[in-house]
Structure 1
Amino acid sequence: MDLLLKGGEMDLNFSNEMVYTLPFYLGPILVLSILNYVRRQKHYRFNDTLTNASIAVGNLGFSLILLLGVVAIYSHVFEEYRFIELDQTNPLIYVFAFIAYDFCYYWNHRFHHMIGLLWADHIVHHTGEQFNLGVSVRISYFTELTMWMTFIPMALMGISIEVFLVVSYIEAVWAYCIHTEHFKKTPVADKVFNTPSHHRVHHARNSRYIDKNFGGVLIIWDKLFGTFQAELDKDPVVFGVRESYPSFSPLVINSYYLKNIWKKMQLSSTPWEVVCSIFAAPGWLPKKADRKTFYSATTRISCRDFKPYDPHTSLTTKWTSFIRFCVMLVLFTYLMSNFGTIGAIPATILSLLFFWLSHYNGIVLDGKKVGAYPEIIVQLLAASFVYWVAQNTQDVIVASCSIGLMVISAVNYIVYRQAPMTQQSFPVDASQQSDAL
């Protein structure tokens, strides 16, 4: 497997992962989005889906790199500190590993809702205001940094990295598939498994549904530890978080809750309150904080009146944003497939270009006025990479994509730079009405 150490060295080229993972991540979402458009349904919106895809690709890049370290740590603990010797060839070890993983996942997931710093990471997944496969890949860039620790006990229990990865893939596929509104109730499966109905509850902003149903594949842990809540017809699920931030920028979404932590720290009167600002439950506030003014007006909107953030954008803008995303995808694939060989400077340029363009697409879809300097940054980064390609490689496709990216971005800027601010779907406070740039 490419993610493991090879010959004592880390393999930093991810060609195989790009071939298999990207189509799995984005293929079904693209197909269902097209079907949604053809059938004139409302399960997928362009701005929301493009944002989910942009966040997913950024997460994939970070995850592949960070996973190298996670695999190395897990393997070291297994080799040096395991308590039990288990036969890794016995099929029953996969059953044992699956149950152990699902139990660890439950507590990992619950900790991410209980601890503010972990919630800053996990909230990215919950900011999606529609429930579809796109939300399943709307995962923070730094999830691998906060997920791995609670799974180390599996290494201590004698579960090898190979077995661990197999059961983790099973869990990932299940988690991917249950993000849907199409299966309303599955009475038999609902008793044992975390079904789409149960997971819709977990993603709701309704008061009775908040912090419920943390399970991975099995729902029995929630029933055992008192966090289970069935989906009720009398209380229809409304998706999203209470403190909604109206933006489609992946960078804004990924830094979303860190601003709240910093705000709590500024209002803290004692060192203990500073610690609590970082690690206490998301609902905790310092004594000086006024709950009515600390949170935006969106927290006070009832679920009955809440509407997803959906500013109008022109068809031209949507097309240029989508084409830009496609070119970004090609450049990202090139970067990850050659990460260990292209050198630090071009890798840094491509990474900055990718994340800046994700942000740029987001603010354009927000309906913000786009000034000159964001476009200047795009052109400088793209031109720098084209110059590097011309000097060091003969890769015509990558060079063409880079040049095309510059043209598309410039066209989008010309078309959209005079666009007025659009009306928000819900009232926000003054601090949230400022431009993202």
Structure 2
Amino acid sequence: MNLNFSEEVMYTLPFYLGPLFILSILSYLKKHKNYRFNDTLTNASIALGNLGFSFIILLGVVAVYSYAYKEFRIFELDQSNPLTYILAFFAYDFCYYWNHRIHHMIGLFWTDHLVHHTAENFNFGVSIRISYFTELTMWMSFIVMAFLGISLEVFLVASYIQVLWAFCIHTQYVKKTPLLDKFFNTPSLHRVHHARNGKYIDKNFGGILVIWDQLFGTYQRELEEEPAVYGVRESYPSFSPLVINSYFLKTIWKKIQLSRSPWEIFCSVFASPGWLPKGVEKKNFYSDIARIPCSQFKPRDPYISLRTKWTAIVRFSVTLVLFCYLMSYFGDFPVLPVTALSLLFLWLSHYNGIVLDGRNVGWSAEIISQALAGIFLYWTIVTEQNHFLAISSVSLMVISLLNYLVYRQNGELKNRLSPQSETL
């Protein structure tokens, strides 16, 4: 099994991050406010983590799908026939609808899907803001296509079409399209899906076609009198990818602690995200922000100075290089260096997140970064690896330390909100 992902990184990463940064820069130059600095870097950081875990998890998913197709397919379909591709398109779209809807209906799955919905701006960056572990929960709904006799190659074509469409509909630039709304999941309909407005919650689950929403009662058009306000009712408390990916697990744990029976414990995990144990009132369980009317809701935007923004950019750049390096040599290193580099990547992503939160970060955060890089440096020296690895490790430690010192020198580091949202 090939665990080196240099080709995957080379072909995937530019399409993931390229459009996000190009559009965010254009938005900044045009003085639009749809691409905030903190939100954009968070989207990019979450996307890197999702890619890394997906590269690894997909190896197992592909093996399971291929085995199911080989051993348990019910129909013998001609994989070169255009009709097979059409069948695959409709089957994938149908499975996508129910997979998506189930992720909104079951608390444990919502833990995974919530990451995508925590974005409080709606732009192309949201399309890559996907949970680290989404591949673990996605494949179960699509394995039925292998039983139908749809090969992995045909399945992948259908999935790539869906991914491309999903990317394109995360935008506010395309306004209402009344005619297309009758047949396709348009940007307008998907803005409804991402809104925290009461009328819009749990609507428009379709991938490309809206026929499934129309058939199963989840179709909702964008209303003039109800502008979409993005995010979730219980707003997430951080720009850290680790916090965002684990946020709803804390909510589930809180429900379990308040449960009075095994059944309530079960429901805490598997009931709908809004379910609460008997006797627990919403006003006491959720924070005040959940009760803010949409007309008064504003995206969370802690103040950070220009110098701090530059330290965040430097730290993200280091994280990006580290990600590419780790994925390219993932299968070549033993457990110790792979673990150290993986933890360092996750930690630096979290580190940048809490900086974007406007927190005054202490020495402990930097000590953890230095320790993880030091473990990798120790391995390179003990095992007499190429000098390039040792030089890279030392460089990483120096860059991280200098970045921290510049950040600490900033006298404006206070956890306060700016009167207006700052954009990238």
TM range (shorter): over 0.9
Give the alignment partner of residue 241 of structure 2, picking from 229, 246, 250.
250
Q: Deviations over 1:124-146 (max 9, x none)?
A: 00000001111111100000111
Q: Which residue of the partner structure matches residue 324 of structure 2?
A: 333
SS of residue in 2 equivalent to 1:208: coil
Q: Deviations over 1:178-212 (max 9, x none)?
A: 10000011233221111100000000000000000
- 1:284 matched to 2:284? The reply is no
Q: Which residue of the partner structure matches residue 35 of structure 2?
A: 44
Which sits farther off after the overlay, 186-195 or 158-167?
186-195
Give the distance between the partners of 1:111 and 1:124, measured in 2 at CA.
15
- Output aligned runs, 1:143-158, within 5 Å: 143-158=134-149
Amino acid of the structure 2 residue aligned with 1:393: Q
Give the distance between the partners of 2:6 and 2:361, measured in 1 at CA.
35
Give the distance between the partners of 2:6 and 2:21, measured in 1 at CA.
22
Contact 2:66 2:146 in 1 (8 A): yes
Give the distance between the partners of 1:392 and 1:65, measured in 2 at CA.
28
Which sits farther off after the overlay, 381-390 or 204-213?
381-390
Give the distance between the partners of 1:147 and 1:402, measured in 2 at CA.
36
Amino acid of the structure 1 residue aligned with 2:171: T
CA deviation after TM superposition for structure 1 residue 392, in Å: 4.0
CA deviation after TM superposition for structure 1 residue 91, in Å: 1.6
Q: Deviations over 1:77-120 (max 9, x none)?
A: 11111111101111211110000000000000000000000001
Amino acid of the structure 2 residue aligned with 1:364: V
Amino acid of the structure 2 residue aligned with 1:19: M
Give the distance between the partners of 2:212 and 2:372, measured in 1 at CA.
49
Q: Which residue of the partner structure matches residue 200 of structure 1?
A: 191
Give the distance between the partners of 1:80 and 1:290, measured in 2 at CA.
50
CA deviation after TM superposition for structure 1 residue 389, in Å: 3.8
Contact 2:360 2:415 in 1 (8 A): no
Give the alignment partner of residue 218 of structure 2, picking from 204, 227, 231.
227
- 1:259 matched to 2:229? The reply is no
Q: Deviations over 1:127-185 (max 9, x none)?
A: 00001111111100000111100111101100011111111111011101110000011
- 1:116 matched to 2:130? The reply is no
Q: Which residue of the partner structure matches residue 77 of structure 1?
A: 68
- 1:58 matched to 2:49? The reply is yes
Give the alignment partner of residue 388 of structure 1, picking from 379, 404, 408.
379
Q: Which residue of the partner structure matches residue 297 of structure 2?
A: 306
Q: Deviations over 1:241-285 (max 9, x none)?
A: 000022100000000100000000000001000000000001100
Contact 1:131 1:179 in 2 (8 A): yes
Task: Please give the root-mean-square deviation of Cα atoms over the aligned residues, in Å.
Answer: 1.6
Per the normalisation by structure 1, the TM-score is 0.92
- 1:127 matched to 2:121? The reply is no
SS of residue in 1 equivalent to 2:9: helix
Greater relative CO (CA pairs within 8 A, separation 6+):
2
Amino acid of the structure 2 residue aligned with 1:394: N
Contact 2:311 2:406 in 1 (8 A): no
Contact 2:305 2:413 in 1 (8 A): no
CA deviation after TM superposition for structure 1 residue 394, in Å: 2.8
Amino acid of the structure 1 residue aligned with 2:117: H
Give the distance between the partners of 1:291 and 1:327, measured in 2 at CA.
42
Give the distance between the partners of 2:233 and 2:304, measured in 1 at CA.
25
CA deviation after TM superposition for structure 1 residue 419, in Å: 5.4
CA deviation after TM superposition for structure 1 residue 381, in Å: 1.2
Q: Which residue of the partner structure matches residue 183 of structure 1?
A: 174
Q: Which residue of the partner structure matches residue 423 of structure 1?
A: 416
- 1:359 matched to 2:336? The reply is no
| CA spacing shift, 1:346–1:419, aligned 2, 3 Å | farther
Q: Which residue of the partner structure matches residue 167 of structure 1?
A: 158
Percent identical pairs in the alignment equals: 67
Contact 1:15 1:336 in 2 (8 A): yes
Contact 1:320 1:408 in 2 (8 A): no
Amino acid of the structure 1 residue aligned with 2:83: L
SS of residue in 1 equivalent to 2:294: coil
CA deviation after TM superposition for structure 1 residue 388, in Å: 3.2
CA deviation after TM superposition for structure 1 residue 372, in Å: 1.3
- 1:315 matched to 2:310? The reply is no
Per the normalisation by structure 2, the TM-score is 0.95
Give the distance between the partners of 2:289 and 2:399, measured in 1 at CA.
35
Contact 2:303 2:417 in 1 (8 A): no
Give the distance between the partners of 1:315 and 1:229, measured in 2 at CA.
41
| CA spacing shift, 1:210–1:392, aligned 2, 3 Å | farther
CA deviation after TM superposition for structure 1 residue 321, in Å: 1.1
Unaligned 5+ segments in structure 1 are: 1-9, 427-437
CA deviation after TM superposition for structure 1 residue 413, in Å: 2.5
CA deviation after TM superposition for structure 1 residue 400, in Å: 5.0
Q: Which residue of the partner structure matches residue 422 of structure 2?
A: none
CA deviation after TM superposition for structure 1 residue 424, in Å: 4.8
Q: Deviations over 1:406-429 (max 9, x none)?
A: 233223323334655423589xxx
Q: Which residue of the partner structure matches residue 429 of structure 1?
A: none
Amino acid of the structure 1 residue aligned with 2:199: R
Q: Deviations over 1:206-233 (max 9, x none)?
A: 0000000000011111011100000011
Give the distance between the partners of 1:85 and 1:129, measured in 2 at CA.
46
Which sits farther off after the overlay, 337-346 or 357-366?
337-346
Give the distance between the partners of 1:389 and 1:196, measured in 2 at CA.
49
Contact 2:311 2:407 in 1 (8 A): no
Contact 1:310 1:425 in 2 (8 A): yes
SS of residue in 2 equivalent to 1:209: coil
